[in-house]
Amino acid sequence: MLNKYKSLSKLKLIDKGILFMLVSALIGALSGAVAKILSDTMDPIEIVFYRNLLGVLIVLYSLKKVPVSIDMTKLNLLVLRGVFGTLAMLCYFYTIASIPLGEAVILNKTSPFFVTIFAYYLMKESISTTTIFALIVGFLGVAFIIKPFGVEISFDHILGILGGFFAAAAYATIKKIKDIYDARVIMLSFMGIGVIIPLLIFLFTPYAEFKIHTDPFVWALIAFMAVLSTASQWFLTRAYSLSAASIIGVIGYTSIPFALGFGIMLGDTVPDIYTFAGIALIALGGILVGRKSSSKK
């Protein structure tokens, strides 16, 4: 009876994690669509800065209402989560502004493959033949999307893949600190550093120019995106806290059809057959990686 109760409890946690990931995927795709609209009038680095600044204010207000204690012994992991997450966001928002929304999202979804590679090199986990096959399938899908032997490959696509790499590193840190810190503290570390890094870029590099925007519509979109992104991050963090990363990673692929739909609504062209094939291969590779990881547990 006790084992049955434990099994039911675990199933409920998995179901809740899946639900949270689905909500995060939908809200995240909508946030990406808003970012794409904003990219017509703002630099991607500005979008990251303002998005995180408002997100910090939202989380701080939440922490003021319901305070939590902070363990000072793992602050290095919090900082790493913030740095990796910010780099992933900078790459992601840049690709959103430069290529179709659906392509930007699917390139960001290469993160499960990088997680597997991290596990092999950093944690000395073995890689099975099935996992190697999944990695080949996934990166073949990337090749279909960026078309490296044609004229369509671009720096924007490379940044999209780097976004997936940094996202994988950020997700790995979440699993390390999920039992130590409240989800809002993890979000605050990410968003706080997401304010600092763009600010440093504004101050010390020529790659972006800080502007004061006065259009109320632009500020309304920034505020809307900040709320959406903060909600998406909260659901994402909770999903990874409740369920296995392999399961949640697979469910995260539901953001692809959401993003494709929003992108087409905003004027993106319908993806060609190669892009659809690439999307299918990346999703298949991610699912294979996820199922193999689940079988180890």
Predicted confidence (pLDDT) per residue in 47-63, tens digit: 889 888 888 988 888 88
Quote the pLDDT of residue 195. Answer: 93
Pick from 175, 250, 178, 201: nearest CA to 46: 201
**Class of residue 59 by CB neighbours under 10 A (exposed 0-12, middle 13-18, buried 19+):** buried
Question: What does the angle CA 283 – CA 278 – CA 253 come to, to the nearest 5 degrees?
Answer: 25
Q: What whole-number distance in Å separates Cα of residue 50 and Cα of residue 150?
A: 37
Predicted confidence (pLDDT) per residue in 59-110, tens digit: 888 888 888 877 777 788 888 889 999 999 999 999 998 888 888 888 887 7
Quote the pLDDT of residue 37. Answer: 92
180-189 burial: b if 16+ Cβ within 10 Å, else e: ebbbbbbbbb
Cβ pair 241, 180 in contact under 8 A: no
End-to-end, the C-alpha distance of the chain in Å comes to 22
Please state the φ and ψ torsions of residue 37, each to the nearest 5 degrees: -65, -45
- Report residue 54 as tokens: 């408002």
* pTM for the whole structure: 0.76
The low-confidence residues of the chain, meaning pLDDT below 70, are 1-14, 119-127, 147-153, 245-246, 249-250, 289-297
